[in-house]
Amino acid sequence: MSSPKRTDDIRRQNTRLTLQALRARSALSRTHITEQTGLSAATVSTISARLLQKNILQNTADPAVDSAKNRRGRPQAALSLNPRAGCIVVMSFAFNRLSAKVLDYTGACCASAESTVNTLQLSEADLSYTLTRMVNNLISRGSTPDMPLRYIALGIQGVVDASGETLLWSPITPLKRLRLRQLFQQAFGVPVWIGNDCNMMVEALRWQYPERFAEDFAVLLMAQGIGMGLMLRGQRFIGRQSSAGEFGHMVYQPEGAPCRCGQSGCIEAYAGDYAIWRRAQQSTAAQATTVSLDAFEAAAFDAVLADALQGESIARQAFREAGQALGHGLRSLFALIDPIPVAFVGRGTLAFELLEPEIRRVISQNSKMLNGEHVAFSCFSDAETLILQGCSVIALRALDDQFSQVEA
């Protein structure tokens, strides 16, 4: 006979399965839930009765049933997630830009907001005020008393501790060891997750394209910096102490070009947007200096890209060298974990036709075990959308876990 603890664990797992099935299919009859989850009809009936009582689920029409003109009588009863069971706030915090959304329990957007902020100049007090004000404004627009805030998830550029509590370092702010989870919990009294932006994109791609991104793949962000998120054996990779995945700060050329992180010779110092622009200037002085975030504008990168696309030039060579740096980094990664599909994300993907040949050439070079021709590459230019979507996947999954522990 199972112990009480074991029985509770099984009940919670069965409840999670039920909620996951409904999240994936929108609405299902109890019979279809039984088919989708493998649970018994009696178990599904018990779980659904408890969740209906707590207003976590609601009765609705079964979308699998034929329309009224082909069927007599009342539509077959079905269940769906109750959108008003609670809401979440998801946020993306990047250089000089903060964006956020309020989503209901089904994942539908109730309100959204964007703000331009000077991230390099914000004091800790100003940063705290900016973040909490954004959430308060969104809640006032997108929530109601019968749909309480239940979770906050924030994706941010930088190194986050492994527990998802503290921003340890970020190129977008001189502030360090920011206890952002504590900030939000004290202000709103709900669970909070803080994550590296690339890790959020990993979750988004796996949710949105499960047939392409499943057990093993990498996300390589090419924007103001170079970052990476990894999914290995179905688990998002996080280091023992930090979010890890700092692909852009792996050493490519010892004692090489200066990087914004303060080191020299990083992959980012050759493949970041500012690094490509710097190389395209073909100036010894430019090569010997970093380019600060506040001094570099996206238009400068766009101008270099336009020049490179027109034909052979110093600009095109700069992109070739960036591809070589990325290829060397991927080859080193593949030597450790074997080749896996790679999703390239961000503004840098606009130049992918210039980067890809060198990336594939380098990852295949001097390595009989690797075949660059067969590594699957995909490109997604909109990083912010993926960050927010990844935050929503994590937050709604956490909310499902919370609701699976609801007692009858």
Residues 253-290: tens digit of each pLDDT: 999 999 988 899 999 999 999 899 999 987 545 555 66
Instruction: Give the residue-averaged pLDDT of 189-217.
Output: 96
For residues 189 and 316, membership in a common domain is answered with no
For residues 326 and 217, membership in a common domain is answered with yes
Residue 380 inside a domain? The answer is no
Instruction: Give the residue-averaged pLDDT of 8-21.
Output: 94
Q: Minimum mean pLDDT among 49-63, 135-149, 280-294: which range?
A: 280-294
Instruction: Give the residue-averaged pLDDT of 115-144.
Output: 92
pLDDT digits (tens, 9 = 90+) for 31-54: 999 999 999 999 999 999 999 999
CATH number at residue 185: 3.30.420.40
For residues 34 and 105, membership in a common domain is answered with no
Q: Which of 124, 122, 220, 199 is nearest to 156 (CA)?
A: 199
What is the distance between the alpha carbons of residues 296 and 387, in angstroms, rounded to a whole number? 23
Of 18, 50, 81, the position where a domain reaches its end is 81
What is the distance between the alpha carbons of residues 90 and 389, in angstroms, rounded to a whole number? 8
Q: Which has more confidence, 124 or 75?
A: 124
Q: Give the per-residue pLDDT at 60.
A: 87
Q: Give the per-residue pLDDT at 1.
A: 44
pLDDT over 60 (residue 291)? yes
For residues 52 and 107, membership in a common domain is answered with no
pLDDT over 90 (residue 397)? yes
For residues 20 and 96, membership in a common domain is answered with no
Burial class (CB in 10 A: 0-12, 13-18, 19+), 39: buried
The domain of 329 spans 213-375
pLDDT digits (tens, 9 = 90+) for 89-105: 999 999 999 999 999 99
pLDDT band at residue 372, thresholds of 50, 70 and 90? low
* Counted domains in the chain: 3
Residue 94 inside a domain? The answer is yes
CATH number at residue 60: 1.10.10.10
Q: Give the per-residue pLDDT at 368.
A: 62
What does pLDDT average to over the chain? Answer: 89
For residues 390 and 350, membership in a common domain is answered with no
For residues 314 and 252, membership in a common domain is answered with yes
CA distances (Å), origin 256, targets 178, 264, 390: 31, 5, 35
Residue 208 inside a domain? The answer is no
Instruction: Give the residue-averaged pLDDT of 371-378.
Output: 83
Instruction: Give the residue-averaged pLDDT of 127-143.
Output: 91
Tell me the HSE value of 345 on the side-chain side, using a 13 A CA sphere: 23
> What amino acid is encoded at 333 in this protein?
L
What is the distance between the alpha carbons of residues 177 and 164, in angstroms, rounded to a whole number? 12
Q: Which of 115, 117, 86 is nearest to 102 (CA)?
A: 86
For residues 236 and 360, membership in a common domain is answered with yes
pLDDT band at residue 301, thresholds of 50, 70 and 90? confident
Residue 328 inside a domain? The answer is yes
Q: Minimum mean pLDDT among 2-6, 125-129, 226-230, 303-307: which range?
A: 2-6
Residue 294 inside a domain? The answer is yes
Of 39, 66, 81, the position where a domain reaches its end is 81
For residues 371 and 222, membership in a common domain is answered with yes
Residue 358 inside a domain? The answer is yes
pLDDT band at residue 72, thresholds of 50, 70 and 90? low
Of 47, 81, 115, the position where a domain reaches its end is 81
For residues 151 and 63, membership in a common domain is answered with no
For residues 163 and 270, membership in a common domain is answered with no
Q: Give the per-residue pLDDT at 67.
A: 47
Residue 109 inside a domain? The answer is yes
What is the distance between the alpha carbons of residues 84 and 319, in angstroms, rounded to a whole number? 49
Q: Give the per-residue pLDDT at 225.
A: 87
Q: Do the beta carbons of residue 73 and residue 362 sit within 8 Å?
A: no
Residue 301 inside a domain? The answer is yes
For residues 185 and 224, membership in a common domain is answered with no
pLDDT over 60 (residue 295)? no
